[in-house]
Amino acid sequence: MKKFTSIICALIATMAVQAQQTLHICDGFKSTPLTLGTNDGITFSEDYKKLLVGDFRYSMSDIDSITVDEPVFRKVTITYSGSEATVDVPSFVKGLSVNVSGANVSIINTNTTDEVLYYVSGKSSNGSLSITGEYKLTLALAGLTLTSTSNKAPIDIECGKRIGVILVDGTTNTITDAASNTSKGAFYTSGHAEFEGGGTLNITGKAKHALCVKEYLQFKKSTGTINILGAASDGIHCGKGKVNDDNSHLQINGGDITVSNAGSDCIDCDDYGCAFIKGGKLTLNVSQAEGTGLKVDSCIYMTDGDITINVTGNVSEGIRASYAAYFDGGKITETVAGNGSRGIRSKKTTKTTDKVLNGGYMEFNGTTADITVTGGVNASDNTVCYGIKADTQFKQTAGTITITVNSSDSSTKAYNFKSDVSTGGTLSVK
């Protein structure tokens, strides 16, 4: 605070000799422009907790930045209202080409040096938002209900860079596409998306995926609630990564994420994808036959977080790593009710058409897992139901795994390991 106050004092001293300048005071998503003359007073309250600018009062704790002549961020406001949309672009924001047709907004950004904040709110039952460009951006959803009835995705962000998505605190945002949508998702980004903010986001994908991110996807610690209400294909689909690459494409640090009614997988980390579960709460309802709760092409690394999975579809899997899975912390609770289904599986494959070959290793080093298995053998292909299946090797050094088998089918098993080299922890079967 002392350092910030000193900087402001220096700014005030500089402005004292420069009349008719515009002072921009930024707090959160708001930038207040004040045109100053030689007689304008800029002082502090006696306790230095408030900045006094003429008749205005600003709490020091709320101020993000103060700039002269131009605010520190460039904010474009997009508001939907029924069959119409309005776009407010400040005069100092350059490089944007805006087209509005009814409630369909298309923005092309040719600026490659300055980030733009798009602040979106309102409601439309036949609208869309498309933003293309070559530079990073931030999208703030502040109470948006947007449904598309055409072949356009309700939200289509194609910049190939970092796309920050802020769910503004206290707001609920709902995105729904039409079955005719030709995009890969109802909410689609071609760049890497980073979610944050304490609001709520509900997505329904009637054409393909609900949330589709072409590159890596991150949910930060501050992320609020994300509900995938339904999808024709995957609830959440993301790519691209490389085997054992820390820059791969799914990282969950926080948030309360629920995926239901997916036509394929609840979450699919595609294209050599890895998943890093470091926090948050994840609830996955696997109702589709041959579906998966969390499907990863390469490796899963779980160090914290709370995962709850309900598997009711036949020949389905709660968690599947197509190479290796490492569970070092956090908690997993699963119910496996589908016939021929598996709770947690590390898969080995030798098919040359698969991206990742061999694999099948699983390791528990601290995660607590509670798995209840009620399913039986799948009649059509005689697939056996398991709580845990490691196609090659299983290892446990710490943590507690409890598998309860409550099935009338005697073929149902708690686990299936090709080899077990466990040295610690507890694995109990009820």
pLDDT digits (tens, 9 = 90+) for 358-394: 889 999 999 999 999 999 999 999 999 999 999 999 9
The pLDDT assigned to 275 comes to 93
Q: How far apart are alpha carbons 274 and 356 in whole angstroms? A: 11
Q: For residue range 5-53, what is the model confidence (pLDDT) as tens digits?
A: 555 555 555 544 444 566 666 655 555 666 655 445 667 777 777 777 6
Q: For residue range 220-260, what is the model confidence (pLDDT) as tens digits?
A: 999 999 999 999 999 999 986 555 554 557 999 999 999 99
Q: Count CB-CB contacts under 10 A for residue 117.
A: 18
> Mean pLDDT over all residues of the chain?
88
Distances (CA, A) of 269 to 4, 167, 294, 319, 398: 43, 23, 8, 12, 27
Mean pLDDT (whole number) for 120-125: 98
Q: 192 or 186: which carries more pLDDT confidence?
A: 186
Tell me the whole-structure pTM to 2 decimals: 0.84
Residue 129 host element (H or E) = strand 128-133
Adjacent-strand bridge partners of 430 = none
Check pLDDT > 60 for residue 186. Answer: yes
The pLDDT assigned to 160 comes to 80
- Yes or no: say if 354 and 367 are a contact pair by the CB < 8 Å rule: no
Enter the DSSP assignment of 262. Answer: B
Secondary structure of 104-163 in HEC code, one letter for each residue: EEEEEECCCCCCEEEEEEEEECCCEEEEEECCCEEEEEEEEEEECCCCCCCEEEECCCEE
Distances (CA, A) of 356 to 164, 222, 285, 297, 348: 30, 33, 26, 7, 9
Q: How far apart are alpha carbons 417 and 303 in whole angstroms? A: 23
- How would residue 163 be classed by pLDDT, with cut points 50, 70 and 90? very high
Adjacent-strand bridge partners of 331 = 306, 368
**Furthest C-alpha separation in the chain:** 88
